[in-house]
Amino acid sequence: MSLGLVTVHGDETESQCAYSDVMARWQPDAQSRLENAALELFAERGFEAVSAAEIAARAGLSKATFFRHFPDKPEVLFWGRDLLADTFRQAIADGAPDASPLELVRAAVLAVAPVFDADRHHHAATRQRLIASSPTLHERAVLKRAALAQAITDALQARGVTGGTAELAGLGGAAAFDAAYERWAASRTYRGFAAFARRELDRTVHAAASLS
């Protein structure tokens, strides 16, 4: 994690300020214990073959505890997306008054960089392989990306960005985040998320300019 953190501190003031808040909500707890147990079991036996009760048992928790945290089995790999959406919303609300929509999206995506530490990186490639191999998990990933896009769009609209522009920025921001996450997860040695995010955000800015 320190590598990503140092990079973020170097040139992203928003991320630096939000660091302790963001991380406090991402500490290991029942949800991440259940996620880690699920990743181990799914990797061993495949997503379909493992029950919620078995995930709970591997994590040393009850099946009832599992369903207190997650509405269904796929959700055990996606709980972090709700926290991402909250972090995006907060970063956009806190952005500079004169920032453009894409500058606000940049601040939002970079604000979540501290979350993607070496611990999360350890499981990220397994998680991506599972999502690619399971239609159920792939569908859930598509729905979660749409929810992230909507969170960005809503936060931009709350700052007065008009509907169409806010929607396109939300769609582009969520796509850039997902592309950065995918490349970060595919990296064999751990490197900070911020550099991946910056590259994809730069591509999005370039894409917007070359549409018409």
Footprint on this chain of its own copies (rule: CB under 8 A): 100-103, 139, 142-143, 145-146, 162-165, 167-169, 171-172, 175, 203-212
Q: How far is the CB of 212 from its own copies (least distance, A)?
A: 5
Q: Which is nearer to its own copies, 101 or 192 (CB)?
A: 101
Q: How far is the CB of 160 from its own copies (least distance, A)?
A: 12
Separation between Cα atoms, residue 69 and residue 30, nearest integer Å: 8
Q: Which is nearer to its own copies, 49 or 207 (CB)?
A: 207
Q: How far is the CB of 172 from its own copies (least distance, A)?
A: 5
**Identity of the residue numbered 36:** N
Q: How far is the CB of 120 from its own copies (least distance, A)?
A: 25
Q: Which is nearer to its own copies, 76 or 180 (CB)?
A: 180
> Quick check: helix, strand or coil at residue 77?
helix
Q: How far is the CB of 135 from its own copies (least distance, A)?
A: 11
Q: Beta-carbon neighbour count of residue 135 at 10 Å?
A: 9
Separation between Cα atoms, residue 25 and residue 190, nearest integer Å: 22
Distances in Å between the Cα of 71 and the Cα atoms of 38, 68, 87, 133 are: 15, 8, 22, 22
Q: How far is the CB of 145 from its own copies (least distance, A)?
A: 8
Q: Which is nearer to its own copies, 65 or 100 (CB)?
A: 100
DSSP per residue, 143-196? HHHHHHHHHHHHHHHHTT--HHHHHHHHHHHHHHHHHHHHHHHH-SS---HHHH
- Quick check: 150 and 170 in contact, CB under 8 A? yes
The terminus-to-terminus CA distance of the chain in angstroms comes to 40
Q: Which is nearer to its own copies, 23 or 179 (CB)?
A: 179
Helices and strands (H and E) in the chain: how many: 11, 0
Q: Which is nearer to its own copies, 3 or 168 (CB)?
A: 168
